[in-house]
Structure 1
Amino acid sequence: MVKKNGVRIILLMGVFWRILFIEAALLVFSLFYKWVTEDVAPMDLFWYGVRIIIMVGIIIAFMMITLEKFLNRRIITPLEKIAKANKNIQEDMTRAGQIEISDDAPDEIKSIVTSRGKMLETILSVSDERLNLVNFIRETFGRYLSNKVVDEILESPKGRQIGGTRKTITVLMADLRGFTSLSETKDPEEMVQLLNRFLEKMSVIIHKYEGIIDEIIGDAILAIFGAPESHDNDPERAVACALEMQNSLIPLNNEIIAEGYPSLEMGIGINTGTVIVGNIGSELRMKYGIVGAAVNTAARIESNSIGGQVLVGESTYDHVREYVKADPAQTAMMKGMKKPLVFYSVFAIESRYNVLLQSPAAGKILLPIKLPFQCWKIKDKKIDLIPLAGETIRMDDHKIDAHIPSGLEAFTDIMLRFDFCLDAHCFEDIYAKSIPIEKEGGESFNRLQITSMDPKDKSIIKKWMIQGLY
């Protein structure tokens, strides 16, 4: 298809009209000259003009045909090839290679083709370097932030500006139990390797459920569901993710126990609420994060959990109540809160995710044993100076049923110390959390969920259980 403003039409029509103008001028001049200088009858002058017009037409036709072939080969076709190749750059870069032109093409066109080839090579080289740089940035920062966050920062015009947007998200807070005290007795490099194995397994699961790891704080994980992209099932995915995280800890514990490490326990708290999501900080130092009461509430819910437990706040439970199985609501009065904190212990979700919480300690029988002890309350990571006396009723290596005359509020963290030594072995301090008081045979007792115990002490208790129960 010949373009209306293409080089072919412009050149040929330009030549045609110029030749026609020249021939017309010569015709008029010839007729006028003959009429003035010769005594010619009008009819003879007319036929003289007709002969000249026919001759001019033949000359124009000959010149246009020969000029078209000449211009086609030397100018028009090379320029059309360049235009077509440039168009291919927009459609398919692989089809925009070198242009083949005849050897007798003008030097200027050859120079255009050569310059174009070099320019194209430079553009491709710069594009490859830029693509490699972008991929490097995505791959590198994708290890610190999720790919979705990196994409938003790189592609959005406002991605690097300080500020944020208001969003309703679901926050998941997970924390290992007793890892700090374990770190004091192990080589730091070993603990880092162990922690990395734990974080690797948890990260895979969080990404599977389309969550974003916002922060890793020591042995704790803060993940969010609903930013930068929101979905209707954000709370549902967060709960399913938490249950699978707890289940994945069982095979990991089997591995590390075989290597001589104590088993790991993790508590998880989940809360849904409105936060500000975006870049927080200053022009010198900023981070992509979330700010809002929903984050603090998730942390408080998690602080009431015990190892192997998934606690969800009331706001999250309202979104998933038709999908989950949970224990009755529990309440705890937290410092700085005007109303009690309400949460539910979830052990299954039956939606399309269909995850059931597995418990390695399920079905265990507690060993009836009476051992005197003293315990101290822990508030804000500070140990009370005044001890409380108590005595065990039954226990295993995960929990203790005890009688504490002065009483102990539910969800209280304690440090427990036995008042005796056995065969020159004195038990190390045990860290535990009290869970709601239960009654058995009309007698009230405290159930203490062990969060940290020395591996040697745990081994002794296991031996007692084997000897006492079997």
Structure 2
Amino acid sequence: MENESSDPPGKPSAGIPGIRYILVAGVFWRILIIEAVLLVGSVLYRMVSENAGPVELFWYAVRIVLLVIIILLFMMITLRRFLEKKIIQPLEAVSAANLRLDVANPQVDNIPLDADAALEIRDIVKTRSKMLDALIKVSQQRLNLVNFIRDTFGRYLSRSIVNEILESPNGRNIGGRRQTVTVLMSDLRGFSDLSDDRDPEEMVRILNRYLETMTKVIHDYEGVIDEFIGDAILTVFGIPEPRPDDSLRAVACALDMQRALAHLNRQMVQEGLPTLEMGIGINTGAVVVGNLGSEARTKYGLVGSVVNVASRIESNTVGGQVLVGEATYDQVRGKVTAQSPMTVMMKGFKKPLVCYPVTAVGAPYDIALPEIDEHREARQEIRLPLALWRLEGKKVASETISGETRYLGESSLEIDIPVRLEPLTDVKLQLVFCQDVHCFSDIYGKVLAVETQNGRLRHRLRVTYMVQDDRELLRKWIADASPS
């Protein structure tokens, strides 16, 4: 606690007198009244009983007044010192200790008392000490409980959200408010298939390592992780309170997440672990944010089409890519570097979805990623038979389509198939080829472009997931086939 008044103890404050003034003034006026009564009584008695004349009564009164003054001075001096030592100073010490009380440092609260201090004052000091000890213990327990709640639920919700719920009188009420936010949705490419080939405990360790890395980056940019959806992360910028740079921070965060994943992948390769690829979609718009659910089960979250759109944008990304929606791009235009916009018609949407591949952000973040350019990637003409399936989400949505590879690269393929697939279509394919007991696992990709060459439909694919052994074998074949 801090002292709310700068007045010394015992001094009247805001018209309220202190104990020193009350005691001294009370004793003074009471002695004065008693002496005045004695004076008047003595003069009247002398006048009636002895028939004294005016002059004699006057000098008698003067002697009485002088005697009263002497008695009054003696009483005020001696009694004041007595009251100060026995009552006023001990009580002022208690008052001063209360004013300077600091719960965080209770050792400064000691009140020295004389050995002959009154029993009642000793009881006041002792009772006060016990009461303060109890209050400090209760306060510390309450603080520990609040910190425990913050730390525990801060692992499930953002610290800022936990603070809002705990500190707001209506923090637990069901309901929400309309607010403009920027939603960042990230997802790993091919993680489900990677999990099928490895020990579950190892995959949990890899996933937790990835999530820990991404969480640190998101917190650095003051984003709020709404939830982990498997290997996907739903992050929101603009809650609990919106800020003018929400969209720019979201884009900078996404680019830094890609950069952090590249660093993590270098560590994973050194440890013999598989590398990961992540796509990120960002969108800005109005949502309803708050406590959703019922009194029995409540979740702090957000509802709105902006979340669905961000997820759809993310689904069109390839590994290492950051796509932002049109609303977000309008807010960061001129502050980021982006490639030509891409337009895709998504199921359930009434107009095409426009996305901008962002590769860099300017000051104060200054983050740039290597641009994905399949044309510059080392590739060789290698023909292998293949089987391909079109995907919708995680489900196979077509019969087997047979074809042949034309050019192979480490992260891209050119294939000939008899069926035209629209750009941004997700596919799964198998190279129907085994060498030295090595057979290729499933390869996942996304169609980037389609053109007709010599009467054949040639599709250019970006690989979104390939097991590391297959990637190493393709790299070896490409190197062996390259001109010396």
TM-score in same-fold range (> 0.5): yes
CA distance in 1, matches of 2:473, 2:258: 26
Q: Deviations over 1:197-227 (max 9, x none)?
A: 1111111111111111111111111111111
Report which stretch shifted further, 87-96 or 338-347: 87-96
Contact 1:378 1:415 in 2 (8 A): yes
Listed as ranges, the gaps of 5+ residues in structure 1 are none
1:109/1:185 Cα in 2 relative to 1: closer, same or farther (>3 Å)?
same
Size of the aligned set, in residue pairs, is 470
Q: Could you say which residue in structure 2 is the equivalent of 1:225?
A: 237
Residue correspondence of structure 1 range 362-373 to structure 2 within 5 A: 363-373=376-386
Deviations 1:70-118 (A, max 9, x none): 1111011111111111111269855741101212221101100111112
Whether the aligned pair in 1 keeps the contact of 2:378 and 2:410 (CA below 8 Å) is no
Give a deviation string over 1:330-368, Cα, whole Å, max 9, x none: 111111111111101111112321111136987531121
Distance 1:240 1:437, change over 3 A: farther
**Residues 436, 346 of structure 1: alpha-carbon distance in 2 compared, 3 angstrom cutoff:** farther
Alignment of 1:41-190 (within 5 A): 41-89=53-101, 93-94=105-106, 96-190=108-202
CA distance in 2, matches of 1:13, 1:251: 80
Residue matched to 2:278:
266
Residue 256 of structure 1 is aligned with which of 262, 268, 287?
A: 268
Query: How far apart, in 1, do the equivalents of 2:177 and 2:268 lie?
Result: 42
Query: What amino acid sits opposite 2:480 in the alignment?
Result: Q
Q: Return the alpha-carbon distance in structure 2 between the equivalents of residues 423 and 7 of structure 1.
A: 101
Alpha-carbon offset, residue 127 of structure 1? 2.0
Distance in 1, Cα, partners of 2:170 & 2:264: 41
C-alpha separation between the residues in 2 aligned to 1:447 and 1:369? Answer: 14
Q: Is the 8 A contact 1:171 1:294 kept in 2?
A: yes
Aligned to 2:420: 407
**Partner residue, 1:35:** 47
Q: Is 1:197 aligned with 2:205? A: no
Q: With structure 2 as the length reference, what TM-score do the two structures score?
A: 0.92
Q: Following the alignment from structure 1 to structure 2, what is the Cα–Cα distance between the partners of residues 43 and 441?
A: 148
Distance (whole Å) between structure 2 residues aligned to residue 97 and residue 429 of structure 1: 73
Q: Work out which of the residue numbers 404, 422, 425 in structure 2 matches 1:391.
A: 404
Kindly state the Cα deviation for residue 440 of structure 1 after the two structures are TM-superposed. 8.3
Q: Which runs of 5+ in 2 are unaligned?
A: 1-7
Using the alignment, how far apart are the partners of 1:426 and 1:175 within structure 2? Answer: 28
Q: Partner of 1:89: helix, strand, or coil? A: coil
Q: How does 1:415-434 map to 2 (within 5 A)?
A: 415-434=428-447
What SS class does the counterpart of residue 271 from structure 1 fall into?
strand
Name the SS of the counterpart of 1:390 in structure 2.
Answer: strand
Q: Which residue of 1 aligns with 2:5?
A: none
Deviation at 1:451, TM superposition (A): 2.0
SS where residue 227 of structure 2 aligns? strand
Alignment-derived partner of residue 450 in structure 2: 437
Structure 2 Cα separation of the partners of residues 203 and 76 of structure 1:
61
Check conservation: 1:333, 1:340, Cα contact below 8 A.
yes
CA distance in 2, matches of 1:348, 1:201: 20
Q: CA deviation at 1:36?
A: 1.7
Asked if 2 retains the 8 angstrom alpha-carbon contact of 1:331 and 1:341, the reply is yes
- The separation in 1 between residues aligned to 2:373 and 2:240, in whole angstroms, is 38
One-letter identity of the residue aligned with 1:391: E
Identity %: 52
1:324 and 1:350 in contact (8 A); partners too: yes
- Would you say 1:469 and 2:482 are equivalent positions? yes
Q: CA–CA distance in 2 between the matches of 1:135 and 1:92?
A: 16
Give the match for residue 3 of structure 1. Answer: 11
2:223 maps to amino acid: G
Deviation at 1:323, TM superposition (A): 1.4
| Partner in structure 1 of residue 228 of structure 2 | 216
The aligned counterpart of 1:355 is 367
Judged with a 3 Å threshold, the aligned counterparts in structure 2 of structure 1 residues 104 and 420 are, in CA distance, closer, same or farther, namely: closer
- Identify if the C-alpha distance between structure 1 residues 343 and 439 changes in structure 2 by more than 3 Å, giving closer, same or farther: farther
Q: CA deviation at 1:424?
A: 4.7
Give the deviation of 1:442 after TM superposition: 11
Which secondary structure does the structure 1 equivalent of 2:37 belong to?
Answer: helix
Partner in structure 2 of residue 460 of structure 1: 473
Distance, in Å, in 1 between the alignment partners of 2:219 and 2:362 is 20
Cα distance between partner residues in 2 of 1:218 and 1:361: 30
Amino acid at match of 2:232: A
For 2:388, which of 375, 393, 398 is the aligned residue?
Answer: 375
Please tell me the residue identity of whatever aligns with 1:278. Answer: G
* Cα distance in 2, alignment partners of residues 436 and 411 from structure 1: 8
State the Cα RMSD in Å: 2.2
- Quote the residue 1:446 is aligned against: 459
- Which residue in the other structure is 2:339 paired with? 327
Residue 282 of structure 1 is aligned with which of 294, 301, 314? 294
Say if 2:446 and 2:462, in contact at 8 Å, map to a contact too. Answer: yes
Counterpart CA distance in 2 for 1:159 and 1:400 is 53
